[in-house]
Amino acid sequence: MDEHHSQPLFPSHTTGELDALDGYLQSGAFRNRSIERLSGAVQIATESFDDMGGVGKDPRWDVFYSFASYLEKTFPLVHSALQLEKVNTHALLYTWPGMDPSLKPTLLMAHQDVVPVPESTVEQWTHPPFSGYYDEKFVWGRGSSDCKNQLIAILEAVEALIEAGFAPRRTLILSLGFDEEISGQEGANELSQFLLSRYGHNAVAVIIDEGAVNVESWGANFALPGVAEKGYMDVDIVVRMPGGHSSIPPKHNGIGVASELITLIEANPYEPHLYDDNPYLELLYCGAEHAPKFPSKLKHLLHQRTTQSHKNKDHLALEAAKAGLEIKYLFTTSVAVDIIHGGVKTNALPERTQITVNHRINVGSDSAAILFHITSLAATVASKYNLTLTPFNGTESPSSITLSYRDTKLEPAPITPTHIYTKKPTPFSVLCGTTRALYSTDLLVSPGIMTGNTDTRYYWGLSEHIFRYGPGWDKEQVGLGNIHTVDERMGAQAHVDTVRWMGAFVRNMDEADL
């Protein structure tokens, strides 16, 4: 494994002002301005809801006008030096043209929207959810760590680069969607099509989006940029059975049969499996070689490992999964029954019961495996109750179980290459070198993966080199900063370090001969 051997990488093309840039970014004056900018962004409640209507029709989108105005006021140099195009009204696409058009662009991503704060939880927050309150350590509020921190840090880095007189050789693109939390159809989807039509397939050198963070594990420190994503599929199951009066119930009605199927689904989960291209396997190899507290049993199973057949039990994956659910689901297809509807009246038997089952598909597997598995379970229940089974190719009929999947179906993402060569840089080596320069050579950089998806699902055609990485690191902030829940917050030091990383990465990519 060679990933961790990348040397610290510092920009070499400097002027007096660029030389002083990192010192300025570490100053108290910049820290105060940076906190103020992030706090102000959090105070604009850019919530996106699952039931949003069309852009321009649903007034809940209008808050994004306010957010765009805030960015324009807060980053005047960005808005004067870069070309801003608004895609589908609220998606913001900034372009900083490079002096050498033959170089593929660098693309930095983030999203403007945040998950809603349920009214019932507001009183549970230490500080109000859209206050942007700063307590000398953290900026509090919805979106502070998912992912207005990354969005503001990108713009702060570019603003500082402009101020220091930086002129890029390589074009820089900033692509800011506005509905990532509700699947990105209106934002990232439209942005990616716009970018593909302008630049063409595989025309971008590297893409950085929100994602995995730096962690302490097995007695060592790791940066884990996400180089893969699990797939996604929602399956709707409809049980149709005869209605009638509740005073004369059959032995089993539609809700009972649907419940039996739910129980069967939960009783037959997918087993952990580390396919050869899952990045978590690379992390295990890296940990076994360099982490002082790496478990001996895992190391033994790693040494014994051969190429895995999907039909066999994967003892390495089963052992690794014991670390907890957050680890297990990095290499296990997840299944969750999330929605159920059935019945309309207390004295009428339910004629139609629907359940929705969410899957996050393991790297190395595919949607076909999910369809086969859930169809076989539904067939068992259909046969038991003499119901017609219609799997994924028909319409509902009386006395039947019908399965369908939604258009949100997504196969696991292509794996980003992570080779490092001694003589020629790669996007991954630039990322590793930038990270090790910021945090010291004690930090190991290994390919990572997350359980969820990002807006990069729409960008596969633009680049092979996609990294989902949140470079800010605050050891006092456990995990991802309470994203999607009460007391979301972002460490001020981690935020400033994100700004420093973004500025250095842009400069290092600008100098890289790739």
Helix (H, G, I), strand (E, B) or coil at 273: coil
Distance CA 169, CA 147 (A): 28
CATH of segment(s) 14-213+462-511: 3.40.630.10
pLDDT tier at 101, thresholds 50, 70, 90: very high
pTM: 0.93
286 upstream amide cis, omega within 30 of 0: no
Mean pLDDT of 44-70: 97
Question: Strand 172-177 relative to strand 138-140: parallel, antiparallel, unpaired?
Answer: unpaired
Mean pLDDT of 402-417: 95
pLDDT value at 425 more than 90: yes
Distance CA 467, CA 226 (A): 5
pLDDT digits (tens, 9 = 90+) for 249-279: 999 999 999 999 999 999 999 999 999 999 9
Identify the DSSP state of 447.
-
Q: What is the pLDDT of residue 3?
A: 45
Distance CA 75, CA 89 (A): 20
Distance CA 463, CA 200 (A): 10
Identify the DSSP state of 121.
G
pLDDT value at 420 more than 90: no
pLDDT digits (tens, 9 = 90+) for 6-29: 789 999 988 889 999 999 999 999
pLDDT value at 466 more than 90: yes
Crossing angle of helices 28-42 and 148-163, in 10° steps, is 140
Q: Which of 495, 499, 492, 494 is nearest to 137 (CA)?
A: 492
* Residues involved in catalysis: 113, 180
Q: Strands of 55-105 (E only): list them.
A: 83-87, 91-96
Q: Which of 287, 270, 187, 195 is nearest to 230 (CA)?
A: 270
pLDDT digits (tens, 9 = 90+) for 476-499: 665 555 788 999 999 999 999 999
Amino acid at the residue 124: Q
Which residues pair with residue 468 across a beta bridge? 209, 226
Q: What is the pLDDT of residue 306?
A: 74
- Could you tell me the residue ranges of all domains in the chain? 14-213+462-511, 231-270+333-405
| Termini Cα distance of the chain | 22
Mean of all residue pLDDT scores within the chain:
94
Q: What is the pLDDT of residue 478?
A: 54
Q: Which residues contact 203 (CB under 8 A, 6 or more apart)?
A: 104, 105, 462, 463
**Region for residue 485 given its phi and psi (left: phi exceeds 0; alpha: psi -120 to 50; beta: otherwise):** beta
pLDDT value at 441 more than 90: no
Q: What is the pLDDT of residue 422?
A: 72
Q: What is the domain class of 231-270+333-405 according to CATH?
A: alpha beta
pLDDT tier at 421, thresholds 50, 70, 90: confident
Q: What is the pLDDT of residue 1?
A: 43
The pair phi, psi for residue 231, each rounded to 5°, is: -80, 180
